[in-house]
Amino acid sequence: MAQFVVEGGTRLTGTIFVHGSKNATLPILAATLLVEEPIVLKNCPRLRDVENMIRILVELGCIARWEGSTLYVDSSGAFGYTLSERLSKELRSSIFLLGSVLGRFKKAVATYPGGCEIGNRPIDLHLMGLRRLGAEIDEDGGYICCTGEKLLGAQVSLDYPSVGATENIMLLACMAEGETVIHNAAREPEIVDLQDFLCACGFRVSGAGSSEIVILGGTRGHGCSFTIMPDRIVAGTYLTAAAITGGEIALIGAMPEHMVSMLEKLQDAGAYIRKDGARIILKAPKRPSELLRLETQPYPGFPTDMQPQFFALCSVASGISVIVENVFENRFRHAQELIKMGGKNSVRGTMAIVRGVQRLHGAQVTAHDLRGGAALVLAALSAEGTTVISCAERIDRGYLQLEEALCSIGAKVTRKD
Cβ at position 82, least distance to ligand UD1 in Å:
21
Map the footprint of ligand UD1 across residues 49-108, applying CB under 6 A: 93
Instruction: Give how far Cα 155 sits from Cα of 93, 150, 179, 266, 314, Å.
Output: 24, 16, 8, 39, 43
Q: Which stretch binds ligand UD1 (CB under 6 A): 12-20, 98-106, 201-209, 301-309?
A: 301-309
Task: Please identify which residue in 6, 8, 20, 23 interacts with ligand UD1, judged by CB under 6 A.
Answer: 23
* Identity of the residue, 158 or 175, whose beta carbon is nearer to ligand UD1 in the bound complex: 158
Q: Under 8 Å CB-to-CB from 89, ≥6 apart: which residues?
A: 111, 113, 114
Residue 206 contacts residue 180 (beta carbons within 8 Å): no
Ranges within 202-221 binding ligand UD1 (CB under 6 A)? none
Residue from 8, 45, 99, 164 in contact with ligand UD1 (CB under 6 A): 164
Q: At what angle do helices 22-31 and 189-200 cross, to 10 degrees?
A: 30
Q: With CB under 6 A as the contact rule, which of the stretches 74-82, 121-129, 200-208, 313-321 interacts with ligand UD1? A: 121-129
Answer yes or no whether residue 168 interacts with ligand UD1 by CB under 6 A. no
Binding-site member from 121, 204, 359, 361 for ligand UD1 (CB under 6 A):
121
Residue 197 or 328: the one with the smaller Cβ distance to ligand UD1 is: 328
Distance CA 218, CA 65 (A): 29
Distance CA 61, CA 33 (A): 10
Of 203 and 328, nearer to ligand UD1 (C-beta) is: 328
Across the beta sheet with 107-111, the strand order is 107-111, 143-147, 136-140
Please state, in angstroms and rounded to a whole number, the distance separating the CA atoms of residues 201 and 194.
11
DSSP states along 240-291 = HHHHHTT-EEEEES--GGG-HHHHHHHHHTT-EEEEETTEEEEE--SSPPP-
Residue 311 touching ligand UD1 (CB under 6 A): no
The reply on whether position 354 binds ligand UD1 by CB under 6 A is: no
Instruction: Provide the phi-psi class of 246: left if phi over 0, else alpha when psi is between -120 and 50, else beta.
Output: left
Nearest to 335 by CA among 352, 358, 359: 352
Judge contact between 45 and 20, C-beta under 8 A.
Answer: yes
Task: Tell me how far, at minimum, the Cβ of 174 lies from ligand UD1, in Å.
Answer: 18
Would residue 342 be called left, alpha or beta, if left means φ above 0 and alpha means ψ between -120 and 50 degrees?
A: left
Residue type, 274: R
Question: Which residues form the catalytic set?
Answer: 116
Smallest gap from residue 43 Cβ to ligand UD1 (A): 17
What are the residues facing 320 on neighbouring strands?
355
Among 133, 163, 176, 291, binds ligand UD1 (CB under 6 A): 163
The residue sitting closest to ligand UD1, measured at its beta carbon, is: 164
Residue 305 binds to ligand UD1 (criterion: CB under 6 A): yes
- Of 105 and 328, the one with the shorter C-beta distance to ligand UD1 is 328
| Residue 277: partners with Cβ closer than 8 Å, 6 or more residues away | none
* Closest distance of CB 156 from ligand UD1, Å: 12
Given the rule CB under 6 A, which of 114-122, 252-260, 263-271, 353-361 is the region that contacts ligand UD1? Answer: 114-122
User: Which residues lie closer than 8 Å to 188 by C-beta, 6 or more apart?
Assistant: 23, 163, 298, 299
Give CA–CA dist 52/58, Å, rounded.
10
Q: Which one of 41, 60, 117, 126 is in contact with ligand UD1 (CB under 6 A)?
A: 126
Stretch that binds ligand UD1, among 118-126, 175-183, 221-229, 356-364 (CB under 6 A): 118-126
- The answer to whether residue 160 forms part of the interface with ligand UD1 (CB under 6 A) is yes
Instruction: Kindly state whether residue 43 participates in binding ligand UD1, applying the rule CB under 6 A.
Output: no
For position 304 contacting ligand UD1 by CB under 6 A, the verdict is yes
Rg (CA), the chain: 21
Q: Do you know the residue count of the chain?
A: 417
- By CB under 6 A, is residue 123 in contact with ligand UD1? yes
Q: Which is nearer to ligand UD1, 3 or 237 (CB)?
A: 237
Tell me the site size for ligand UD1, rule CB under 6 A: 22
48 interacts with ligand UD1 by CB under 6 A? no
Which residues of the shown chain bind ligand UD1 in the complex (CB under 6 A)?
Answer: 23, 26, 93, 119, 121-126, 160, 162-165, 186, 190, 303-305, 327-328
